[in-house]
Structure 1
Amino acid sequence: MSKDTGPVRVLSEHNEPDGGNPSVSLLQIDFERFWIQALNLKYWLLGIVVIGLLIGLIVTLLSTSLYRATARVEISLVRQNVVSSQPLEVESRFSEQQYYDTQFELLQSRSLVNRVIASGNLARDEELLAAIGLDPSQEITERTLGTILLGNVQINPLDRTSLVDISYSSASREVSARIANLWANEYIAANYQKRFGANIEARDFLEGQIAELRDKLAITERELVDYANANELVIIDTGRESGGSDAASQTLVGAELAALNTALATATTERIQAESALNAGSTGETGAASAAALRGRLAEEQAELAELRSKFGPEYPEIKAKLAEISALQEALNVESSIDNGALQAAYRKALLQERALRTKLADVKGSFLGQQGQGIQYGILKREVDTNRELYDALLQRYKELEAAGAGKNNVTLVDAASTPLKAYSPSLLVNLFVGLGAGLLAAAAVVYLRETMDRTVRDPNDVRNKLGIVPLGLIPRVQGADIVDELLRRSSEVSEAYTAARTNMTFLTATGAPRALMLTSTRPNEGKTLSGVALARSFAQLGKKVLLVDADLRHSGISDFIGLATDPGKGLSTLLSGGGTLAEAAVWVEEHGFDLLPAGHRPPNPVELLSGSKLKEIVDMALDTYDQVIVDGAPVLGLADALEVSRAVEGVVYIVESNGANIRAVQTALGRLATANATIFGAVVTKLDQRNAAYGYGYGYGYGYGYGYGDTPEEE
């Protein structure tokens, strides 16, 4: 037996396959595999999608019609108060987006829905309760009703605007419109109350205080007037604040006394002046002027008389005339003086009489004034009370006006469009439900494909042998249905025969000298096509003119003889040789139909592992290699048994049989790991039972080698 060359691939020399690293498999999603899985399940997936559409149709037919009414409000940003008085509202410190987000949350708050319920008395609204599916005869809590209302209302802000739509849905057109409008109005009222509630309360309080103080002021003023009338007090407004005893000076008597006092002082002054003028003999301005004129003429006449006397004698007529004129002037001057003295006396008497009359009147008025002094004190007390009440009234009225100006700001939330009664139902929508059913069906179909693909750990793509198991795929064998497999092997042009011929060809490249002379066929579990592969490969090597020995080493479940329809002697076989009885030449059976020798398993021993674990099997294989060109050993499955591990020590390497769509990759990995622990050389794998489920991967009857056989091909097409 030649062992100078090693295998092309040995499991211990490979990197860890992708199947051993879950993270790698998760990151490397092969969408083609999911597509192929979908193609394989197309009828099931089509049924799922159709069921989804049917469910959408049924839901549409069975659903209650819903009507949606929408009220639109405008929410403006809060602005600073601009009145001159101290503002009572505080401008929002939030950013614009935060403010609007807060308002949107308030529109869906529990406090607002409670206001809506209370304002509309919705807990007793039978039309509403019927529209939302509640029994009016049963007790309904406010929280339950509020939860239902919140579930039916929708708040939809319009992008890039300050407008917000408030929509309500129910089975009643009228209820939807009424609740939408009620919701909008209560939100507007709540917002106004929140912003100006303090001012409103203050104004209400001041209104009560002002009304009370107005009544009190009226009472005190009436008492003051009644007191003045009862005591005949006539009050003169002096334009200055006074009280107490000073109130008497503000009466008519006091005013008269002051006027008389002033007039008396004036009369006294005039009397004194007249008396002084009389005593001094002074004249009035008019008399003084006349006297001065007369004296001036008298002086002129006297001067002319003196000039005439200097020229003429006493008897001169002009002198006599001048003397007469001078005499007349002197007499006129004397008369003027007597007239001025009489005027002074008359003026003095008048002033004296006026002074005496004023003094008499002053004395009378003074007596009346002194009688009103006590009354003035009480009047002052009443007057101060009136003034105090008036000052308080004016102060409260001024503050009320300030609050009215500060609190009468415009609400920053206004109703733009009231909700109107909807004309048609918005739900259920047949088109929407069909799309939803279609989407749900597609998602369910995708989930089925995903679960099927992820849970299906079998080999579907023959490349999985290389990618996930780390070994070379030597052959791809199609599934044969509806025909005798042995007849298919005998027909050299059959797909199965051609597939094993391709596998045999690939084996010739495993070593530099060709195919390994001694190799074992094994699998993960029974019924994966191991026996068929052994017969087919032995037949294929024999067709090359080689002398081939096929050894049935599955001592627990031998089946090659039955498979090819060959009757053998149970006393002659591998178990007999391992027990030390007979020879290889005696035990080997020529299979003329296939052209190779068969060493049957013989009788079934009670201890197969003990027979296979010794060196006897190695000696038998070496002895066979002296006679045969090719020795193929059909071993037992790997999992659960140690037989294959012992047989692997007697051959050059192992060709692993993997059933597509059947063998679990993790189980295959475990089996290969067991072979690796036994230092077995894995030459490669033969994938068996490929069918239309694998065709989408590009591995139909062509096996990827260009034979051109596809599913559905007729012999003529071949």
Structure 2
Amino acid sequence: MYPNDEVALKEVLTPLWTRRWKIIFFTLVITFIVAFYLSLLKPAYRATAILQIGSNKPANTLSINDAFNESSASKEQIQTQFELLRSRKFAERVIKQLTLLEQPEFYSGKYNDKIAGLAKFGGKKSPPSMTEAVARFQQQLTIAPIAGTELVKISFASYSARLSQQIANQVGITYLEYQDEIHSASKETTSQWLIDQLTELEKKLQLSELSLQAYREEEGIVDIHGVVGLVGAELTELTSELLRTEKLADDLAIAYQSMKKYADDVRQLSELQGIKNDASIRQLRQNEEKIARKVSELSQRYGPKHPKIIAINAELSALQNRINQQVLDIVTSTEKAYMGALERVNGTKQRLALAKQNYLRLSRLQNKFSQLSREVETNQELYNNYLVRLKEADAMGNYKANFYVRFIDKAVVPKSPFAPNKVMIVTISFAFALMFISIIIIMRELLVDTLNSRRKLDNFNEADILAVLPKIKRPNTEQDTGAYSTDSRFTEAIRTLRTALLFHREKTPPKVMAITSSVPNEGKSTVALHLARSFSEMEKVLLIEADMRHPTIAKNMNLDPHRPGLSNLLAKTHQINECIIRDKSVKLDILTSGISPANPLAFLSMKRFNMLINVFGNFYDRIIIETPPVHAVSDAVIISKLVDSVLYIVHGNKTKREQISSGLRLLQQVNAPVDGVVINHSESIDTGKYQSKYYRPDNNIIKLAARKRG
């Protein structure tokens, strides 16, 4: 066995190698189509102008100190200028200034003059509308800031080199004019706008201050934060006290319930854990044990009416009465403690509920008070900021602090086109087409539900796999070999199959074998013929062609299709020696199908057919029967009952796994002796690399050892 990654690589690369000419053909076709399309395109030119957008901000948005120190503009402001250069407004200005709608170079197509000339036969093309022109302009315009600098590239692509240079420069000029317009307009409107805003903010500030004062007087608020803090501390303390009292009550409840359960039985009460562990009870129990021992000692020496016995019994009885009374006292004290604990719990809960109500009320007051206070502070801060801005604007007057904009490099007429890069596009299209077609082939091979790879064979458990046969290389000339293959790899694979059949079973190798398949054209006739010839190298073999519907063995061996055969023997029109053909080179006799009858199934169901097989078994060491496909007719199912072994031929690249499984189920339903599956026409599975030590490269075979089911 080879490592999994090596097998997977072989599984991927083999389909590519076997279909290499198809891959190359379709790749070249796609590449030619791309190259032909590129030959129809016009060359495109790009001109680039470079602007500097300086770091000074407009005067009406700065403090006096910031303006004279020329602080840097924010990234958002710089990005805004780039978006202005790309805007529809700028596009319309440039189109109108350069009268681009009247220049055919601006709205000409991307195809060369020959294609454009053919298009003119359909009528004269009218100039585009402003909306179409703006969309085309924005598509061809590129605004690219240079990282780490204040420079920006303005590039325009066009099929006219001169037009691309004019438009790139005009965009920069239009931007300069736009900055002047903005500065002039802002100087006239900034001061009035600030005054209007201050008036409105002053009214809001007064209203918020009045609302805060009215709320303070209405609720009688002096120090809301301090009061809330005190109530919160009280709430925390009451919560802790409630937890402690509830825990004490729970502990006493357990003892109380136990004492209540045995209220009428002092002895049971004295055995409770809480009473038993009491110090006074333990002391009394110890005294009781001492007196009991003394009673026992005196009882051995005196009679029951002796004064000492009477006295000691009286003392013991008095002590037991004391113990019982002490138990009752403990029960009473426990009950009182439990009731007291319950009263403390209820009282603490009531105080805690009142504290919570008070805290929630004060919290609502605090939230409303904080909201009004924040509104006053916000209005006050806004008012102060706008007042400072108004004073600064008045003090700065006509100081110009707009973005510093100037041309660094104006665009020049480009000398050579930038697109299309035909060599690069053709190269990329070739590589992409090659990769795309290869992926399609690989995915098709991996996803097709056939047994065309080792991975799929390892997952096939419906039957044993006896051998894998390579695709036959047909001989170029007709020789005496007839239908026999001259491919040494196939021949060695057939010998491997023969060995597998001889040693596959623990018992005697099968004498009568049937060869069938799922559907036609899976190579069962070829496998039957070559397997029979392989067995004939060692013993006497008879090959029977039982496929009377579509016989192929006689045709492949260049025999007369109308010569007598199996059907003639079953119909008793000819003798055995007239129907059997002898292969003179080996010990192989062939019984072809003969004349095709109207109902082949009736012929094969005759007792005479079974009798013929038994008769042939007396003269031949091995009998191989080629049968019709399982899914086509039921002939193979009938024949499978008369043989010792059934070989199931599968086309490795075409037969679907469902077809294989359903065919095997049909045979298993009649308890056919299916020995295993033979994979035929395999192109992707190679498990015989190790055999290169023993065979020449042209004699290397494909071999897969038989696997046990399940």
- Matched to 1:636, the amino acid is P
TM-aligned CA deviation for residue 505 of structure 1: 1.8
Alignment of 1:400-419 (within 5 A): 402=393, 405=396, 408-412=399-403, 414-415=405-406, 417-419=408-410
CA gap 1:439/1:509 in 2 versus in 1, 3 angstroms:
farther
- Gaps of at least 5 residues in structure 1 are 1-26, 207-398, 713-718
Tell me, in whole angstroms, the C-alpha distance in 2 between the residues paired with 1:458 and 1:483. 36
- Gaps of at least 5 residues in structure 2 are 195-389, 701-710
Tell me, in whole angstroms, the C-alpha distance in 1 between the residues paired with 2:593 and 2:81. 88
SS of structure 2 residue aligned to 1:549: strand
The equivalent of 1:607 in structure 2 is: 599
SS of structure 2 residue aligned to 1:450: helix
The equivalent of 1:81 in structure 2 is: 61
The equivalent of 2:348 in structure 1 is: none
The equivalent of 1:141 in structure 2 is: 129
The equivalent of 1:108 in structure 2 is: 86
Are the counterparts in 1 of residues 54 and 150 from structure 2 also a CA contact under 8 Å? yes
Alignment of 1:436-447 (within 5 A): 436-447=425-436
SS of structure 1 residue aligned to 2:91: helix
SS of structure 2 residue aligned to 1:167: strand
Give the one of 498, 501, 504 matched to 2:498.
504
Match status 1:674 vs 2:663: yes
The equivalent of 1:716 in structure 2 is: none
Which region of structure 1 is more displaced relative to structure 2, 158-167 or 609-618? Answer: 609-618
Are the counterparts in 2 of residues 576 and 603 from structure 1 also a CA contact under 8 Å? no
Are the counterparts in 2 of residues 466 and 473 from structure 1 also a CA contact under 8 Å? no
Tell me, in whole angstroms, the C-alpha distance in 2 between the residues paired with 1:435 and 1:460. 41
CA gap 1:38/1:501 in 2 versus in 1, 3 angstroms:
closer
Are the counterparts in 1 of residues 581 and 589 from structure 2 also a CA contact under 8 Å? yes
TM-aligned CA deviation for residue 115 of structure 1: 3.0
The structure that has the greater radius of gyration is 1
TM-aligned CA deviation for residue 480 of structure 1: 2.2
Match status 1:421 vs 2:399: no
- Matched to 1:66, the amino acid is A
Alignment of 1:184-583 (within 5 A): 184-187=172-175, 189-190=177-178, 197-201=185-189, 402=393, 405=396, 408-412=399-403, 414-415=405-406, 417-428=408-419, 432-455=421-444, 463=454, 466=457, 472=465, 474-477=467-470, 478-484=472-478, 487=481, 497-513=491-507, 515-545=509-539, 547-564=540-557, 573=566, 577=570
Which region of structure 1 is more displaced relative to structure 2, 533-542 or 65-74? Answer: 65-74
SS of structure 2 residue aligned to 1:140: coil
Which region of structure 1 is more displaced relative to structure 2, 621-630 or 589-598? Answer: 621-630
- Matched to 2:62, the amino acid is V
The equivalent of 2:153 in structure 1 is: 165
The equivalent of 1:66 in structure 2 is: 44
TM-aligned CA deviation for residue 556 of structure 1: 0.8
CA gap 1:585/1:459 in 2 versus in 1, 3 angstroms:
same
- Matched to 1:110, the amino acid is R
TM-aligned CA deviation for residue 479 of structure 1: 1.8
TM-aligned CA deviation for residue 154 of structure 1: 1.5
The equivalent of 1:155 in structure 2 is: 143
Tell me, in whole angstroms, the C-alpha distance in 2 between the residues paired with 1:110 and 1:158. 23
Are the counterparts in 1 of residues 628 and 636 from structure 2 also a CA contact under 8 Å? yes
Tell me, in whole angstroms, the C-alpha distance in 2 between the residues paired with 1:178 and 1:40. 57
CA gap 1:168/1:631 in 2 versus in 1, 3 angstroms:
same
CA gap 1:532/1:484 in 2 versus in 1, 3 angstroms:
farther
- Matched to 1:107, the amino acid is L
Are the counterparts in 1 of residues 483 and 556 from structure 2 also a CA contact under 8 Å? no
TM-aligned CA deviation for residue 498 of structure 1: 3.9
CA gap 1:70/1:487 in 2 versus in 1, 3 angstroms:
same
Tell me, in whole angstroms, the C-alpha distance in 1 between the residues paired with 2:508 and 2:183. 97
SS of structure 1 residue aligned to 2:532: helix
The equivalent of 2:370 in structure 1 is: none
Deviations 1:525-548 (A, max 9, x none): 444432232122122212222x43
Match status 1:664 vs 2:642: no
Deviations 1:430-458 (A, max 9, x none): xx311210110222233333334545659
Give the one of 645, 648, 659 matched to 2:640.
648
The equivalent of 1:295 in structure 2 is: none
Tell me, in whole angstroms, the C-alpha distance in 1 between the residues paired with 2:659 and 2:87. 61
SS of structure 2 residue aligned to 1:508: helix
CA gap 1:144/1:461 in 2 versus in 1, 3 angstroms:
same
Deviations 1:270-298 (A, max 9, x none): xxxxxxxxxxxxxxxxxxxxxxxxxxxxx
Deviations 1:542-593 (A, max 9, x none): 2222x4332222121234345446679977625754x7x6999789736252
Are the counterparts in 1 of residues 498 and 534 from structure 2 also a CA contact under 8 Å? yes
TM-aligned CA deviation for residue 153 of structure 1: 1.0
TM-aligned CA deviation for residue 424 of structure 1: 1.4
SS of structure 1 residue aligned to 2:665: helix
- Matched to 2:145, the amino acid is P
Are the counterparts in 1 of residues 541 and 589 from structure 2 also a CA contact under 8 Å? yes
Tell me, in whole angstroms, the C-alpha distance in 1 between the residues paired with 2:497 and 2:175. 82
TM-aligned CA deviation for residue 52 of structure 1: 6.5
Task: Give the TM-score taking structure 2 as reference length.
Answer: 0.54
Match status 1:708 vs 2:699: no
- Matched to 1:449, the amino acid is S
SS of structure 2 residue aligned to 1:516: coil
Tell me, in whole angstroms, the C-alpha distance in 2 between the residues paired with 1:569 and 1:65. 72
Tell me, in whole angstroms, the C-alpha distance in 1 between the residues paired with 2:77 and 2:601. 83
Deviations 1:470-490 (A, max 9, x none): 662514253222134761788
Are the counterparts in 2 of residues 555 and 575 from structure 1 also a CA contact under 8 Å? no
CA gap 1:147/1:131 in 2 versus in 1, 3 angstroms:
same
SS of structure 2 residue aligned to 1:487: coil
Are the counterparts in 2 of residues 528 and 659 from structure 1 also a CA contact under 8 Å? yes
SS of structure 2 residue aligned to 1:710: helix
TM-aligned CA deviation for residue 123 of structure 1: 3.3
Tell me, in whole angstroms, the C-alpha distance in 1 between the residues paired with 2:402 and 2:605. 98
TM-aligned CA deviation for residue 421 of structure 1: 0.8
CA gap 1:469/1:406 in 2 versus in 1, 3 angstroms:
farther
Provide the alpha-carbon RMSD of the alignment: 5.2
Tell me, in whole angstroms, the C-alpha distance in 1 between the residues paired with 2:132 and 2:41. 23
Are the counterparts in 2 of residues 75 and 412 from structure 1 also a CA contact under 8 Å? yes
CA gap 1:48/1:610 in 2 versus in 1, 3 angstroms:
closer
Tell me, in whole angstroms, the C-alpha distance in 2 between the residues paired with 1:612 and 1:705. 47
- Matched to 2:582, the amino acid is V
CA gap 1:86/1:620 in 2 versus in 1, 3 angstroms:
same
Are the counterparts in 2 of residues 488 and 497 from structure 1 also a CA contact under 8 Å? no
TM-aligned CA deviation for residue 188 of structure 1: 5.0
TM-aligned CA deviation for residue 151 of structure 1: 1.8
Tell me, in whole angstroms, the C-alpha distance in 2 between the residues paired with 1:473 and 1:141. 76
Are the counterparts in 2 of residues 551 and 600 from structure 1 also a CA contact under 8 Å? yes
Tell me, in whole angstroms, the C-alpha distance in 2 between the residues paired with 1:601 and 1:58. 58
- Number of matched pairs: 478
- Matched to 2:654, the amino acid is N
Calculate percent identity across the aligned residue pairs.
21
CA gap 1:81/1:462 in 2 versus in 1, 3 angstroms:
closer
Are the counterparts in 2 of residues 191 and 413 from structure 1 also a CA contact under 8 Å? no
The equivalent of 2:260 in structure 1 is: none
Tell me, in whole angstroms, the C-alpha distance in 1 between the residues paired with 2:639 and 2:693. 32
TM-aligned CA deviation for residue 149 of structure 1: 1.0
